[in-house]
A and B are shown apart, each in its own frame.
Chain A
């Protein structure tokens, strides 16, 4: 009797430390974030340890602010573009990898691993150098090698649209390794006979992808897409460091907006409310991710 009771307790004891750490260091701040979003909380409150509950006031302030809606729309468009580009290019490269010679595959894989491992801060610094106004290699390439126009001393960040173009290129470049390696792992498990049979029946490249490859890797595809949505919606470093920690309002995404409201302006309560909007949106994306994991039996 005592022995079985002890045996029952074993799994709970084993998970206890992990649960405690996650609950205290992630769960409690999450709970506090919700609280903060209903409070007036500025520098004075941090020092005095006092809190003032103001109900929905923070939410009312941001929802009636035109800037909030502009930034939300910008973040959604930024995410949609990056996820779309990442998935299309990533899938194309993964499909391509099935047909290349062994040595080319090794080269591409090595490049992917190098990019994957590069710390984001390093990647941003390197890209700043690539697009540098004075001696950046991109302006030189466009002007003197590809001859698409005069890009000498061209400032890519003067116009937010072109600035976001560079930032998106950086984000997609950094996201591709995970997508390619994961999708290729799935695609390479599809028996070649299936594809050959489809080709004998007259399937085109697109037909093979649409009717043979995609149905098989669909679960993987959905997982990678929802993860990409979650990651791209929360992009911070690529904008913040790229613009030397002083992004103008034209470059605010939800993450930067909530950060600036909190640490720039000192309105932690309002920053928390903005962060809460992000969390709620991401929960929707996470829902699809988790449902997919449950469906394929990864969680059982």
Chain B
């Protein structure tokens, strides 16, 4: 303790200019070290993603070579052509799009209503409901597959997109309620009250004030729901039969059945990841904030 305060005490005697120069150079040194470490983190994290895209553009020879080529020097679209011409690619894209659109629209409407109730009203059972919303998110998916399969098999809803949509809808609902609640809380209730004082009805204030102001929340929430529905695998794998699959099941079956066509697999992976990464870039900040909103307050 005393040794480490000494330089500061000593430096007080020298001119303040010298201190700031020394401090600056030490800070610059520290900054360079941090930057090098940060770049290392960047390389390790991004490499698998880079390797996926790079492989997707490589020729078959370059992929099979025992000495990897770090950059696709002769880029080709052959892998992409092969991936999209594999059986069931387009039908599984269509299935995934249907499931995503339905999940997003259902969950948005239902979650928004619940979010308004939780954020704007005091009612009996409100706190219990919030705990329940957090709790149901903890249930592992795998645990629910068994009874869901048994139930849907009984009402003949397996191999039916509707069954899958219903389960995704329920799975994204708790979090979308939670997220939209945050956005509704972000709109001051006084704005709606002011509109009502000015003669607006409660419903009018709802549609003219709250809905437009929560619009960014709708975008973020629907992208969250879309990502979940697009990326989900096990439920789709169990609940849908082969040849009526979603895009992730299509990719996994390509891997598990004919696991060596790496160029095609990487092209398919790139095609599946691309739309989702694009969407995510738009909202990542909001999604992170929604999950732990306010957690740093205390």
The A-contacting residues of B in range 156-181, CB under 8 angstroms, are 166-167, 169-171, 173-174, 177
- Chain A nearest CB: distance from B4 CB in Å? 4
Q: Is B214 an interface residue (CB 8 A)?
A: no
Q: Is B15 an interface residue (CB 8 A)?
A: no
Q: Bound state CA distance, A230 and B144, in angstroms?
A: 15
Chain A residues with CB under 8 Å of chain B are: 8, 10-12, 14-15, 17-19, 21-22, 24-30, 32-33, 36, 41, 46, 49, 93, 96-97, 99-101, 104-105, 107-108, 110-130, 132, 134-135, 137, 140, 144, 152, 173, 176-178, 181-182, 185-186, 189, 200-202, 216-217, 219-220, 223-224, 230, 233-234, 236-237, 240-241, 244-246, 255, 258-259, 262-263, 268, 271-272, 275-276, 278-279, 282-283, 285-286, 289-290, 293-300
In the complex, the answer to whether B34 meets A122 with C-beta atoms within 8 Å is: no
B251 CB contact (under 8 Å) in A28, A121, A176, A186: A121
Q: Answer whether A15 and B289 are a contact pair too, CB < 8 Å, given A96-B37, A290-B131.
A: no
Q: Bound state CA distance, A10 and B280, in angstroms?
A: 35
In the complex, the answer to whether A137 meets B142 with C-beta atoms within 8 Å is: no
Q: Bound state CA distance, A100 and B171, in angstroms?
A: 38
In the complex, the answer to whether A15 meets B117 with C-beta atoms within 8 Å is: yes
In the complex, the answer to whether A126 meets B51 with C-beta atoms within 8 Å is: yes
Q: Bound state CA distance, A25 and B294, in angstroms?
A: 30
A112 CB contact (under 8 Å) in B45, B173, B259, B293: B45
A295 CB contact (under 8 Å) in B170, B265, B298: B298
In the complex, the answer to whether B116 meets A14 with C-beta atoms within 8 Å is: yes
The A-contacting residues of B in range 123-151, CB under 8 angstroms, are 123, 126-127, 129-136, 138-151
Q: Answer whether A285 and B118 are a contact pair too, CB < 8 Å, given A105-B38, A116-B284.
A: no
Q: Bound state CA distance, A117 and B265, in angstroms?
A: 18
Q: Bound state CA distance, A244 and B256, in angstroms?
A: 4
Number of A-B pairs, beta carbon distance below 8 Å: 323
> Which residues of chain A are within 8 angstroms of B63 by Cβ–Cβ distance?
135
A234 CB contact (under 8 Å) in B64, B141, B248: B141
Q: Bound state CA distance, A275 and B294, in angstroms?
A: 33
By beta carbon, the residue of chain B nearest A227 is: B291
In the complex, the answer to whether B170 meets A271 with C-beta atoms within 8 Å is: no
Q: Answer whether A113 and B144 are a contact pair too, CB < 8 Å, given A119-B273, A122-B251, A129-B266.
A: no
Q: Answer whether A296 and B297 are a contact pair too, CB < 8 Å, given A21-B173, A202-B4.
A: yes
B39 CB contact (under 8 Å) in A97, A104, A122, A181: A104
Q: Answer whether A126 and B52 are a contact pair too, CB < 8 Å, given A26-B139, A116-B284, A202-B4.
A: yes
> Which residues of chain B are within 8 angstroms of A258 by Cβ–Cβ distance?
142-143, 146
Q: Is B82 an interface residue (CB 8 A)?
A: no
> Which residues of chain B are within 8 angstroms of A127 by Cβ–Cβ distance?
48
- Chain B nearest CB: distance from A137 CB in Å? 5
- Chain B nearest CB: distance from A263 CB in Å? 7
- Chain A nearest CB: distance from B226 CB in Å? 11
Question: What interface size band does chain B fall in?
Answer: 35 or more
Segment touching A, from B71-79, B188-196, B231-239: B231-239
- Chain B nearest CB: distance from A112 CB in Å? 7
> Which residues of chain A are within 8 angstroms of B144 by Cβ–Cβ distance?
26, 29-30, 33
- Chain B nearest CB: distance from A219 CB in Å? 5
The 4 closest A-B pairs by CB, nearest first: A25-B170, A117-B280, A14-B117, A234-B140
In the complex, the answer to whether A282 meets B259 with C-beta atoms within 8 Å is: no
Q: Answer whether A185 and B288 are a contact pair too, CB < 8 Å, given A128-B255, A296-B294, A296-B295.
A: yes
> Which residues of chain B are within 8 angstroms of A99 by Cβ–Cβ distance?
30-31, 34
- Chain B nearest CB: distance from A231 CB in Å? 9
Q: Is B68 an interface residue (CB 8 A)?
A: yes
A217 CB contact (under 8 Å) in B8, B227, B296: B296
Q: Bound state CA distance, A130 and B262, in angstroms?
A: 10
> Which residues of chain A are within 8 angstroms of B256 by Cβ–Cβ distance?
241, 244-246
- Chain A nearest CB: distance from B296 CB in Å? 4
Q: Bound state CA distance, A118 and B134, in angstroms?
A: 25
By beta carbon, the residue of chain B nearest A32 is: B147
Q: Answer whether A300 and B34 are a contact pair too, CB < 8 Å, given A25-B166, A178-B288, A279-B139.
A: no
> Which residues of chain B are within 8 angstroms of A113 by Cβ–Cβ distance?
277, 280-281, 284
In the complex, the answer to whether B150 meets A104 with C-beta atoms within 8 Å is: no
In the complex, the answer to whether A129 meets B173 with C-beta atoms within 8 Å is: no
By beta carbon, the residue of chain B nearest A25 is: B170
Q: Is B55 an interface residue (CB 8 A)?
A: yes
> Which residues of chain B are within 8 angstroms of A10 by Cβ–Cβ distance?
117, 121
